[in-house]
Amino acid sequence: MPELRLKRGNVIKIEGFASFHIKEGKVSIIGGLHDKWAEVVIPRAKSIPIEAESDAIIEYMLGPSGKIEKLPGRTIPREWDMLVEEIVAKKPRVVLIWGEVDAGKSFLSTYIANMLIRKNLRVAVVDGDTGQSDVGPPTTLGVVVVDKPVVFLRDVSAHATYFIGSMSPAGHILEFMVGIKRMVERGLKSADVVVVNTAGWISGGPGRAFRLYEMELLNPDMIVALQRGRELEHLLKSMDQFKIRRIAVSKQIRPRSRSDRTFLRELALARYFEGAGRLILDLGKVLLERCYFHTGEPIDPKSLGDTSIVYAEKMPEGLFIVVSGELSDNKAQELKAKFENLHIIRPWDAKNVIVGLANSNDELVGLGIIDEIDYAREKLVVVTPVKDASSIMAVQFGSMKITPGGREVGTIKPGTF
């Protein structure tokens, strides 16, 4: 394995795919102090700076697209250290980090967490980016409690996660608001400081609404605005100026391409579902959430006079039916006249829909991918790494279709189920 000798104060950047371990000496990685035998794997489309705190030797391997670059000096701006000093001095309970996509919010959150544990503070980080999630799998929000130096937050087991069901906050603002509040509350129970890394949606009507209501809901003690220029000023104008700390984006932050982001999402999902098995859930025993299905009064499908209807229930919004063949226009009109509205789905519509699996405390225990719903027998078959079906009390419907290999294969029209 090739070696790289570093003198105290040397700074390098390693781009993935790459792996290395420290053979001798001490290095600082994103503010965290690491010594002998620490091993790090850097995926494609990610890079990290390494600062030698003493003379050090690292052994490394570079994969395709991996590279090592010597840098002229520290990559962490001085103002980041001043921010950490202020957090240590004032001990704000909730620190909200705002920044557009690829501003380095995860990097800054990790840096703050690593620096605070050096000062013996307990830190929790809430990850609000469901697409490029570092905490928990994509489609979830999560919180980690950091108690030792970390390179990537994904290397720490999530303290709690909340299912959103989508890669983006678009159309899921309510789920986001509930989830982020819950994750911050969980973090506050275990940590002195909770750092909230928010999604990079900062403009347009929904983006503004999302940011401002999130701020009102969480009532942070400090808002860190990570900016390249003035891209957050439209939000900051209406804020309590005493809470705002304006911080420059590190010049080392390289925007990721859309294909890189897709690759990282797929990789994270594929890792999550690796080794997953099929679980059969009894719809008579588990609750179904975030859907119309199973919320109405069951109707015997045979009573509706069409053999293509395999499942039916009456809801305030009309008749919910699952149709396996062709429903004649006459029958459809007859049912619509009788029930005012028809909500039709097909047995195969649920295939590959991502779902959250929650326990009796309404906490997410894992993700699942629907393999099939047997409407006649009231069984739901999911592919999931969760092994124990008895731990699952509720199934929350998401808005994406995913394969167990991590590939996104579709989205769900809101209200379909």
Q: Given the rule CB under 8 A, which residues bind another protein? A: 166, 168, 170-171, 173, 204-206, 208-209, 212, 258-259, 262, 399, 401, 408-414
CB of 176 to another protein, least distance (A): 12
Kindly provide the residue ranges of all beta strands, DSSP E only, lying in 176-323, ordered along the sequence. 193-197, 222-227, 244-248, 277-282, 287-289, 297-298, 309-315, 318-323
Q: What residues are paired with 76 via a beta bridge?
A: none
Which CB, 28 or 140, lies closer to another protein? 140
- What's the rounded Cα separation, in Å, for the pair 316 and 38? 59
Q: Which residue has the tokens 């078959």?
A: 381
CB of 374 to another protein, least distance (A): 24
CB of 175 to another protein, least distance (A): 12
CB of 101 to another protein, least distance (A): 14
**Residue 377 buriedness (CB in 10 A; 0-12 / 13-18 / 19+):** exposed
CB of 171 to another protein, least distance (A): 5
Q: Which residue has the tokens 């009573």?
A: 303
**Residue 129 buriedness (CB in 10 A; 0-12 / 13-18 / 19+):** buried
Q: How far is CA 39 from CA 60, 108, 289, in A?
A: 10, 21, 41
Residues in the chain: 417
Which CB, 159 or 265, lies closer to another protein? 265
Which CB, 73 or 415, lies closer to another protein? 415
DSSP string over 345-370 = E-GGGGTTEEEEEE-TTS-EEEEEEE
**Residue 408 buriedness (CB in 10 A; 0-12 / 13-18 / 19+):** middle
Which CB, 63 or 204, lies closer to another protein? 204
Which CB, 109 or 132, lies closer to another protein? 132
Q: Which residue has the tokens 């309590």?
A: 240
- What's the rounded Cα separation, in Å, for the pair 289 and 349? 17
- What's the rounded Cα separation, in Å, for the pair 304 and 337? 13
CB of 209 to another protein, least distance (A): 4
8 Å CB contact between 362 and 394: yes
Q: How far is CA 85 from CA 79, 115, 198, 272, in A?
A: 10, 9, 22, 37
Which CB, 176 or 272, lies closer to another protein? 176
- What's the rounded Cα separation, in Å, for the pair 321 and 346? 8
8 Å CB contact between 61 and 3: no
CB of 381 to another protein, least distance (A): 22
Which CB, 66 or 137, lies closer to another protein? 137
Which CB, 168 or 324, lies closer to another protein? 168
- What's the rounded Cα separation, in Å, for the pair 31 and 149? 8
Which CB, 205 or 275, lies closer to another protein? 205
Which CB, 171 or 298, lies closer to another protein? 171
8 Å CB contact between 386 and 279: yes
Which CB, 190 or 411, lies closer to another protein? 411
